[in-house]
Structure 1
Amino acid sequence: MKCSIAALALLALTACEAQPEGEPVARARIDGQQQAATPSSEPTPAETLASQVESACRSIIFEDAPLTHCLAVPARHRIDMALGSDGKPYRSLTDFAAASDGETIAFAMNAGMFDDEGEPIGYFVEDSERLHKLNTADGEGNFHMKPNGVFYGSGGEWVVRDTDSFLANVTERPEFGTQSGPMLVVDGKIHPEITQDGPSKLLRNAVGVDDEGRAHFVISNAPISFGKLARFYKDELEVKNALYLDGNVSLLWNPATERLDTGAPIGPIVVVRKKASE
């Protein structure tokens, strides 16, 4: 449904358009903290549901675009990569979810570009094992829209770097890593080849790490341009380095709200797990 002019003016970080199945429309700030409800307003059933579950993901609006923003915090989460089981790629979040304990997972998302068999086309590390080497080749497509980059980490230290910086500075193998492209934001500046709001609009997802070391995962709930997604990271999240993960195949699994996206086959998966309570 269409949003009224008054609703857009409020920018209450809630989408006027219908949200994906299972994803509550929650009034929340982009840092993931719950925002106080307006005393005079009656909570919707979706907002009531959101208040009863602990979700790392919130539905928000940026420049009229509905997004889902998922926040991973080192004190509460750890990050892994997953590709498949018994040598066979999962190819869907449905298959990954069937093989996983949803109680231990905050959320999962597709995490980088892949070939026809679902294998990564760039650097990929799972459980400290490098399954694919860094790709510095030139070529066509989004992956080769340089600078591209790597999202990687060990323990609670997570980083996004452009590929050249990764090659020059990272000497020890991380516990996890995935390469994709293009970079959306590089050292606080939007990728030089990304226009303000280009004609290419798809469901897209990305990741960026802020100065506090938190990883911000974003997936659009409607087609979005590179430029708008990059501005969200730069201007709203104030993330200095953000990496595009993919488009058109972008999917999210959020067990807390029972959102499990289906679609075209995927490859690498990033898994944000809950840390066990002390």
Structure 2
Amino acid sequence: MSWRAFSPICLLLLTACGRANALDIGSVSAGGMTYTVATVDLGRDRLALHWLNPTTRQPYRTFGQLRDRLRKEGRTLLFATNSGIYAPGPKPLGLHVEQGRTLVPLNNARSGGNFALLPNGVFWIAGGRAGVTETQAYRRSNVSPTFATQSGPLLVQGGTLHPEFRKTGTSFKVRSGVGVCRDGRVRFAISRGPVNFYSFAVFFRDTLRCPDALYLDGSISAYATADTDTQLAPFAGIWSVSR
């Protein structure tokens, strides 16, 4: 199913979310798999990254905890998803930047699971701009992000799939990722069922039209909306859109 064919549903959801927000959330099917896709317009949507509750200094482990915190601040959670692979603590395994503050530094690991399946990368937001940048290119850059998360592997880089991905790949899992797309918008996608890396990357490149996309996490991947919560495991890092 093409993104263009999906747009009428998006328009209905946009109306439901309120005209002050451009956030679209819906289902997109491609290659025999259905994905939940959230499209974020940084010019109109409030996208932020969270790890530690500022009051307790403890990690937000659930979408519900973050929803409650935002409610106390007079805000409403519209969408949330886990931000990426994490380590014991729990703490993000790679770079984690909130409100311009680096809480976890860049991780240059070259071995150890999907995170270190090079090239990996960083999804960042700086003002009204967003990008997905390979880790070492990010390290050399002068980007000063407001929010950033590091994960791996890169799904798509400059329109090219990760060199290790194979159409015949036998690792099938629920997967989540984020892409910066040709229309300038950010798109988060979570598969509804098990999918391999190749198919997931092709979905970002060919269906969502994202020339740059980053894998976030596997089997525990989940999302929440104002009235939906699919979480089954705790997190260390949550992306949210709120109003």
> Please, what TM-score do these two structures have when normalized by structure 1?
0.78
Q: CA deviation at 1:185?
A: 0.4
Runs of 4+ in 1 over 6 A off after TM superposition: none
Structure 1 match to 2:238: 269
Q: Which residue of 2 aligns with 1:112?
A: 84
Q: Which residue in 2 is equivalent to 1:215?
A: 186
Contact 1:118 1:268 in 2 (8 A): no
CA distance in 2, matches of 1:31, 1:119: 39
CA-to-aligned-CA distance 1:42-64 (integer Å, 9 cap, x gap): xxxxx9xx697236211121111
Extract unaligned runs of 5+ from structure 1.
Answer: 1-10, 14-28, 37-46
The 1:207–1:63 alpha-carbon spacing in structure 2 relative to 1, beyond 3 Å, is same
- Does 1:230 pair with 2:193? no
Q: Distance in 2 between matches of 1:53 and 1:172?
A: 35
Residue matched to 1:60? 28
Q: Secondary structure at the match of 1:108?
A: strand
Q: Distance in 2 between matches of 1:175 and 1:31?
A: 34
- Correspondence 1:90-105 to 2 at 5 A: 90-101=60-71, 104-105=76-77
CA change 1:51–1:180 in 2 (3 A) is: closer
Of structures 1 and 2, the larger Rg is shown by 1
Partner of 1:34: 8
Residue 20 of structure 2: aligned partner:
none
Matched, 1:203 2:166: no
Return the letter of the residue paired with 1:100: L
Q: Distance in 1 between matches of 2:166 and 2:57?
A: 40
Question: 1:25 — aligned with what?
Answer: none
- State the one-letter code of the partner of 1:273: S
Contact 2:6 2:28 in 1 (8 A): no
Quote the residue 2:50 is aligned against: 82
> Superposition RMSD on alpha carbons, in Å?
2.3
Q: TM-score, normalised by structure 2?
A: 0.88
Identify the residue that residue 26 of structure 1 maps to in structure 2.
none
Percent of pairs with identical residues: 32
Q: 1:207 to 1:51 in 2, by over 3 A?
A: closer
